[in-house]
Amino acid sequence: MNKFIQTIQNIFKIEELRDRILFTLGILIIVRIGAHITLPGVNVEVLQAAMKSDANNLFGLFDLFVGGAFSNAAIFALGIMPYITSSIIFQLAGVVIPEIQKIQKEGEEGRRKINQWTRMLTVVIAILQGWGVSIKLASQQGAMGMPVVSDPGFLFAISTMVLLAAGTVLMMWLGEQITERGIGNGISLIIMIGIVARLPQALINEWNTVVAGTRVWPIELVIFVLLVFIIASIVLVTQGARRIPVQYAKRQVGKKVFGGTTQYIPLRVNTAGVMPIIFAQSLMFIPSTFASFFPESEFFNNIARLFSHDSYFYALVYGMMIIFFTYFYTAIVFNPKEIADNMKKQGGFIPGIRPGLPTSEYIDAVLTRITLPGSFFLAIIAVLPTFVTNIFGIDYNFAQFFGGTSILIMVGVALDTLQQVESHLLMRHYDGFMKSGKIRGRAGVGGF
């Protein structure tokens, strides 16, 4: 405990690190304020009552990522999601479109082009999603048929589209400012703070459940021990990697000798990060979202119950889809052939493996083997809220912190931010949070 307090004191002794942390906190406060500034013409109380039925569909998932801004009809209701969607589109396009793939390999100049195109596509997506949000708000009604929007029409649609698109662009800029002038990955931190914002209310509801006598203290203690165990497991798997040794041959340039050293290629157990869960969850919510448009139909009501978050059928299909998307996304973000070619150009080789195609096949085989337990772990973490809800009777808002995207994003972003703080401390010869070695951080949520 004393070491932890000393580390915190060291953080604020370093002026640059202190300024970065305070700057980051200031930006995150602005993000949370924007999540409570309501769009003109929207009755928030009526909207929140109408949104209760959307907790188990795509709108509920979207609201989770934007920290409740969607259910508040706030100017930040779209959050940073249009930017992430745009980034994923260009990631996938780089695999299937040779021209974009060529630009991606042009170094810093290519990255600038892709980033500019990503921002432009973000604005287009935000405008289209803003139009969809304006239609949904205008069509919703609360109790006694009270409309959410008092005066729906052309002006309301235009103002909603402009404000939501502007909110997304502002959040995108704020995220970039955190990355450049703050601490951690800005986009990831904005998503994380939206998820964490729901935690206090979830804990209060859980406390009220125990106080009311609905659940006894021993069971509650078991629940929190389980939560700690899950977080520890996620940290272990997130940090887990298979290191492949690479030997570089010695070569002489003038009077200097280069090479002759051994480096390692770290192949992560969970290379795909949280993206397989996001892909699978988005698809799994489609049936219930579609069924919500036909509330009077018994057939669609049965489909909605089948794909409800507390259904074991939902958990089975959800888990299988996550395993598939883990391999799919890993194949997109990690190219063994490209790594083997770069190693060959630099005079590197894996001991016992010939350079070129055999090296590529070896890396691919190792990656395939270690991705299998990683994919099963992701599937188990993703379906845990379903089992926790059914076994312990926990409210789903709190159960979401036992698995799925919420806990994975929070742990991944926390590790990445902690790693950057650790680097600043060690660079100035202070002790970090760890007794030995550095924390291996992640690039961000899904690589963003």
Q: Write phi, then psi, for 147 (nearest 5 degrees).
A: -75, 150
So where are the chain's domains?
14-197, 198-402
Domains 14-197 and 198-402 alike in fold? yes
Residue among 308, 319, 296, 324 at smallest CA distance from 382: 319
The domain defined by 14-197 folds into Preprotein translocase SecY subunit (1.10.3370)
Residue among 367, 365, 353, 359 at smallest CA distance from 266: 367
Residue among 381, 364, 362 at smallest CA distance from 373: 381
- Can you read off the two tokens belonging to residue 233? 């497991």
DSSP 342-411: HHHHTTEE-TTS-TTHHHHHHHHHHHHHHHHHHHHHHHHHHHHHHHHHHHH---HHHHGGGSHHHHHHHH
Residue among 420, 394, 64, 47 at smallest CA distance from 215: 394
Q: Residues 127, 180, 274, 26: is their CA dihedral positive or negative?
A: negative
Q: Per-residue pLDDT tens, the chain, 448 aa: give them.
A: 666 677 777 777 788 888 888 999 999 999 999 888 888 888 877 777 766 655 555 566 667 767 777 778 888 888 888 888 888 888 778 778 888 888 877 777 888 888 899 999 999 998 988 888 888 788 777 666 778 888 788 888 899 899 999 999 999 999 989 988 888 888 888 888 888 888 888 888 888 888 887 777 888 888 888 888 888 888 888 888 888 888 877 665 666 665 567 788 888 888 888 778 877 876 776 776 677 666 667 787 787 778 777 778 888 888 898 899 899 888 888 888 888 888 888 778 888 888 888 888 999 999 999 999 999 998 888 888 888 878 877 776 777 777 767 788 888 888 888 888 888 777 776 655 555 444 554 445 545 5
The count of other CB atoms within 10 Å of the CB of residue 364 is 17
Cβ contact 136:148 at 8 Å: no
CATH class, range 198-402: mainly alpha
Contacts of 307 (CB under 8 A, 6+ apart): 284, 285, 287, 288, 291, 313, 314
pTM: 0.77
Contacts of 60 (CB under 8 A, 6+ apart): 54, 285
